[in-house]
Copies of this chain bind each other. A is one copy, B any other.
Amino acid sequence: MTMEYDLVPAGLARAVEELPLVDHHVHGATAHDLSRTAFEELITESGRPVPGWMTQFDSQLGHAILRHCAPVLGLDPFCTPEEYLARRARLGAAEVNRLLLGSAGLAHLLVETGYRAEELLGPSGMAEAAGAPADEVVRLESVAEQVAAAGCAADAFAGRFADALEERTRTARGLKSVAAYRCGLDFDPAPPSPAEVADAAGRWFAAGGGRLSDPVLVRHLIWTGLERGLPLQLHIGYGDTDVDLRRADPLLLRGLIELAEPTGVPLMLLHCYPYQRHAGFLAQAYPNVFFDVGLGVNHTGARSVALVAESLEVAPFAKLLYSSDAFGPAELHHLGAVLWRRAMARVLGGFVADGEWSAGQAVRVATMVGAENARRVYGLG
């Protein structure tokens, strides 16, 4: 393994290695032990059972776990999946979480709590395991679904949702919309009228509530979120089987971005794979657009260097952030940081080795993307 950093100047490699990261979009780590089946289902975005003729360890993410997480659990890199899972089971979830999260080098976590939260550590549990402060990002659709579940007249929905959002976000640092999953990003970007909202809420309640997917309501949630004024995270691109990737292209958000521009609310485009160049264009064109390449970094493993490189093209460096989008196994929280550091060191180190950037510029940009931009946007001090 002596070749791996040959082209990266030592000072840059060390600076990126030691940089305390702000993970601006992450979910909780699983609080309980995981069977092999459960573990494999959590290291893929596929919502389907893993077919008997394959294993999810035969993937970039699987290889990255055996390479980078095995040593953290005291094993040799490139051990077998069986050895890895046996060690993981012997250590237990709490110790695994402490080992993997504790060594990720995190300075601050913004934890999105709106999806399967009952299985996961909440912000305080995450803070304890990571040894770093953790604040909350609130998912708009979850708040609305709770309002519906509590019972509400259709024409009272808008008011109740606004009140619930205010209450739920008193100490939150950001909001999140999963419009991409619920109706695709090709929705009418204008705020719906109160009558349209009441009508749509009526239809939703009449159908029994549950999963909110009516585009009118999805838009209403976004516009209520924009009024609330916290940075608004939007799921973009790659995700689980639920997403129609064609309708998750960030370029579809152009209308919303322009309408939202006067509010001054930062729009945080999450993940973006394979549309990272589209996101970079929007981040150059519009002052209110920011983005990251989380999730994709973990799932592309050894190829994450290409993804990170493509994120460093036309966007100003003040507009790009770090996230892991880890959900479930703490391996994902650990790898998000490890793979991002290695990819940034290689990409920026390559610019320096090519004579295109100075080492000082490289360290400065790594620090902006890894921490400073998030501190500024979310006011983390």
Instruction: List A residues at the B interface (Cβ < 8 Å).
Output: 1, 3-4, 7, 44-49, 51, 53-54, 56, 58-60, 63-64, 67, 77-78, 238, 240-241, 244-246, 249, 251-252, 254, 273-274, 277-278, 281, 284-287, 296, 299-303, 306-307, 309-310, 312-319, 342, 346, 351, 353-358, 360-361, 365, 368, 376
- Docked complex Cα distance between A274 and B277 (Å): 7
- Docked complex Cα distance between A63 and B45 (Å): 37
Q: A59-B317, A302-B356, A316-B54 are in contact. Are A44 and B240 (CB under 8 A)?
A: no
**CB pair A365 B58 closer than 8 Å:** yes
- Which of A46, A285, A361 counts the most chain B CB atoms within 10 A? A285
A254's partner among B51, B246, B278, B357 (CB-CB below 8 A) is B246
- Docked complex Cα distance between A9 and B315 (Å): 33
Q: A277-B274, A314-B238, A314-B300 are in contact. Are A252 and B246 (CB under 8 A)?
A: yes
Look across to chain B and name the residue whose beta carbon is closest to the beta carbon of A312. Answer: B303
- Docked complex Cα distance between A60 and B358 (Å): 12
Complex A-B: 13 CB contacts under 8 Å: A3-B355, A45-B314, A51-B287, A58-B365, A64-B356, A67-B357, A241-B285, A245-B251, A245-B278, A245-B281, A274-B281, A299-B314, A302-B356
Look across to chain B and name the residue whose beta carbon is closest to the beta carbon of A251. Answer: B246
**CB pair B316 A310 closer than 8 Å:** no
**CB pair A360 B238 closer than 8 Å:** no
Closest 4 CB pairs of A and B: A4-B355, A54-B318, A302-B356, A274-B277
- Which of A60, A240, A296 counts the most chain B CB atoms within 10 A? A60
* A54 contacts across to B, CB distance below 8 A: 316, 318-319
Kindly list 20 other residue pairs between chains A and B, CB separation below 8 angstroms, not including A48-B285, A78-B360, A299-B313: A3-B355, A4-B353, A4-B354, A49-B287, A53-B318, A53-B376, A58-B365, A60-B313, A63-B356, A63-B357, A67-B355, A78-B361, A241-B285, A245-B278, A246-B249, A246-B252, A274-B281, A284-B299, A300-B314, A302-B357
* A63 contacts across to B, CB distance below 8 A: 356-357, 361
Look across to chain B and name the residue whose beta carbon is closest to the beta carbon of A276. Answer: B274
Look across to chain B and name the residue whose beta carbon is closest to the beta carbon of A298. Answer: B314
- Docked complex Cα distance between A58 and B369 (Å): 11
- Docked complex Cα distance between A319 and B296 (Å): 18
- Docked complex Cα distance between A23 and B273 (Å): 30
- Docked complex Cα distance between A362 and B241 (Å): 28
**CB pair A45 B299 closer than 8 Å:** no
A3's partner among B60, B353, B368 (CB-CB below 8 A) is B353
Q: How many copies does the complex hold?
A: 3
* A59 contacts across to B, CB distance below 8 A: 284, 314-317
- Docked complex Cα distance between A240 and B314 (Å): 12
Look across to chain B and name the residue whose beta carbon is closest to the beta carbon of A360. Answer: B78
* A244 contacts across to B, CB distance below 8 A: 251, 254
* A51 contacts across to B, CB distance below 8 A: 287
* A47 contacts across to B, CB distance below 8 A: 285
Q: Give A45 Cβ to nearest chain B Cβ, in Å.
A: 6
- Docked complex Cα distance between A365 and B66 (Å): 15
- Docked complex Cα distance between A113 and B7 (Å): 44
- Docked complex Cα distance between A312 and B59 (Å): 9
**CB pair A238 B309 closer than 8 Å:** no
Q: A4-B354, A309-B306 are in contact. Are A318 and B48 (CB under 8 A)?
A: no
Look across to chain B and name the residue whose beta carbon is closest to the beta carbon of A318. Answer: B54
- Docked complex Cα distance between A285 and B299 (Å): 12
**CB pair B300 A238 closer than 8 Å:** no
- Docked complex Cα distance between A249 and B251 (Å): 12
